[in-house]
Amino acid sequence: MLGLLIEFSKSAVLAVQEYVQLQVATIRGVFSRPFYFHDVVEQFDAIGIGSLTVVLLTGFFTGAVLALQSGITLDQFGARPFVGRLISASMIKELGPVLTGLMLAGRIGSGIAAELGSMVVTDQINALRALGTDPVRKLVVPRVLAGFFMTPVLTVISDTVGILGGWIVAVYQLGVASSLYWTSITEALYLQDAWMGIIKPFILGYVIVTIGCYVGLGTKGGTQGVGRSTTNAVVAASVAVIAVDYFVTRVLITLLY
């Protein structure tokens, strides 16, 4: 039992060390040449535009069901007109960033791990090195930049669509006046809430993409290894989104409120 614990500790420390080394190489690649602009634009399209549909659907139905459930609860206190305040605060501060992060972890994290893992097992990574190309600059940096900058954009879209979904349910099913819905939102939101909803996605997007790249580049065992890496990337990125969200929220509450 002790031996297993020691081996697990060693493997965990090694994984953290390799992950940190990848981040150092990635940050160095961002601020130094060569810079593969075409690959960056391609990844912005794949991560941003490619994820738009799932983010729109997730945001809309989250806002709608939140309005439906909260309206029933608020009725007990005679506070149904405040449903807009609850939806806006929930979507912007918490549900928008987290649900967008989870959707990207499932779509982008798995895709990156599978793509890079396939390149590893077919020796394409070694071929890049043989041609004098740094795989981190060519493959990792464009994906990290796209994830870092597109996740906040997708989160804002998710927040907006979620609030619109809540408005539709509140007005046409709960009978809340449209003007009262939007007034409650504007009165309830503060600048600190907006900052929290914007800062979180930057960090979550970076974490999701870097985990996918790390797991993908560490793939071993042929095509079966690619499957394992894809599963591991989704699980690790999803757990990381929830865990990082908690710690970032604690820090932001201390700094902003």
- How do residues 82-131 score in pLDDT, each as one tens digit? 888 888 888 999 999 999 999 999 999 999 999 999 998 888 988 888 88
Domain count for the chain: 1
Chain centroid to CA 61: 18
Whether the predicted pLDDT of 4 surpasses 90: no
Q: Out of 49-53, 77-81, 240-244, which region has the weakest mean confidence (pLDDT)?
A: 77-81
Distance between CA 57 and CA 73 in Å, rounded?
A: 24
Domain assignment present for residue 226? The answer is yes
State the pLDDT at residue 32.
Answer: 85
pTM above 0.85, yes or no: yes
Domain assignment present for residue 24? The answer is no
Quote the domain boundaries for residue 168.
36-256
Respond yes or no on whether the N-terminal peptide bond of residue 135 is cis (omega within 30° of 0): no
Domain assignment present for residue 3? The answer is no
233, burial (CB in 10 Å: exposed 0-12, middle 13-18, buried 19+)? buried
Domain assignment present for residue 29? The answer is no
**202 neighbors 151 (Cβ within 8 angstroms):** yes
Whether the predicted pLDDT of 256 surpasses 90: no
Do you know the residue count of the chain?
A: 257
State the pLDDT at residue 12.
Answer: 82
Domain assignment present for residue 8? The answer is no
Residue 3's alpha-carbon distances to 7, 37, 240, in angstroms, are: 6, 48, 28
Domain assignment present for residue 166? The answer is yes
Domain assignment present for residue 249? The answer is yes
Q: If DSSP codes are grouped into helix, strand and coil, which group holds residue 219?
A: coil
How many CB atoms within 10 Å of residue 236?
Answer: 19
Domain assignment present for residue 4? The answer is no
* One-letter amino acid of 60: F
Q: If DSSP codes are grouped into helix, strand and coil, which group holds residue 36?
A: coil
**For the chain, what is the mean pLDDT?**
89
How many CB atoms within 10 Å of residue 97?
Answer: 32
